[in-house]
Amino acid sequence: MFYRLIPSFALLALSFSPARAESAQSASADDVSITADGKAVEVVFQKKTVLRYLLTKPTEATDSKSISPSACYFHPLTTPSGVVLTDVGPDDHPHHRGAFCAWLEVRDAADAADFWGWGQYAPLENRMIRNAAVESVSATGDSATFTVKNDWLAGGTALVRENLRTTVTFRSGGRVLDLDWRFETATDVTLPRHAFSGFVVRTRKDAAITAADPAGPVKLPPPSHLKPENDWPSKPWYALELALKDGTKAGAAIVNHPGNPKTLWHIVTGIGMLNPCITAPGPVTVKAGEPLRLRYRVVTFDGAVPTELLNQVAAEWDK
């Protein structure tokens, strides 16, 4: 088994098998459909792809540019009009992969791993995030939901078990992706302090990209990837607006749940990087048997940053 011999986790590990061995799952309601086929989970609205969550690394050249061995990421992530926002394997950071969650240094008493893909602070070899199961695939007239369970493997051992519940809803002015993570560990695991990593949306960069927060456009300098204290301050949300070469405007925002650990933001408009970073304020310890819960909302939109919608989406968590 992947987990070290701790009884509760040994029993837990027995209940999962790789997603590629599972039969296809699907659901539909009105204009919404969702399908999980062992390779990806795809959500479709009005016959257009909303998103795909990659369960295995694709073999098609156009989709497999990332040098990371891990899958378990969203791409494409689209706007209501169908503009693709995400990028995979960009030339500046070929290990980046759409919208994904990974830390560049994960340590317990016996091992360490870099699941982000940089390799500067922890080993990359034989480290990968692998899907173990897809569950609870469902659809309503205005939403689709699914749950994935992923193993973060160092050699043959799962340092972390990831449980992600995703719900996408279709609203006037934007699409809202609710992401609810629980990260479980068999032993105490530390995420050391770094300026970036964790959940990130990496957009395409063939556009003029600007950042905004609830107060309007943000003119702060880009933070240093080596100086976490230089990350941008905590806000309920930040957004990236992309002005494409054909004149189209579109973008994405991340809304941070107030119950998440203290967060600074690593935002680099030059490459389209939007990253609420819980390790920038300091190291984070995930205790054995005490899951780390992280919740975010990603809002994709056409046109200018929809400040009113983003404030509304953020305020719903305060009720």
Going by the DSSP 8-state scheme, the letter that residue 97 receives in this structure is B
Token reading at 180: 């609810």
Cα–Cα nearest to 51, from 129, 131, 166? 166
For 85-105, the pLDDT digits (tens) are 999 988 888 888 999 999 999
pLDDT tens-digit profile of 115-174?
999 999 999 999 999 999 999 999 999 999 999 999 999 988 999 999 999 999 999 999
Low-confidence winner among 32-41, 58-67, 212-221 (lowest mean pLDDT): 58-67
For the chain, the C-alpha Rg in angstroms (whole number) is 19
Residues 296 and 254 sit within 8 Å (Cβ to Cβ) = yes
Report the alpha-carbon distance of residue 29 to residue 140 in Å, rounded: 5
What are the domain boundaries of the chain?
A: 7-318
Of the listed ranges 8-17, 80-89, 150-159, the least confidently predicted one is 8-17
The answer on pLDDT for 227 being more than 80 is: yes
Q: What is the mean pLDDT of residues 26-43?
A: 95
Q: For the purposes of burial, counting CB atoms within 10 Å of the CB of 307, is it exposed (0-12), middle (13-18) or buried (19 or more)?
A: middle
Q: How far, in Å, CA of 127 to CA of 157, rounded?
A: 10
| Per-residue confidence band for 3, with pLDDT thresholds at 50, 70 and 90 | very low
Higher confidence at residue 54 or residue 317? 54
b vs e for 20-44, b when ≥16 Cβ sit within 10 Å of the residue's Cβ? eebeebebeeeebbbbbbbbbbbbb
Selected residue with higher pLDDT from 96 and 49 = 49
Q: What are 23's strand-pairing partners?
A: none
What number of other Cβ atoms are within 10 A of residue 276's Cβ?
A: 28
Greatest CA separation found in the chain? 58
Q: Please tell me the class of the 7-318 domain.
A: mainly beta
CA 161 – CA 152 distance, rounded (Å): 6
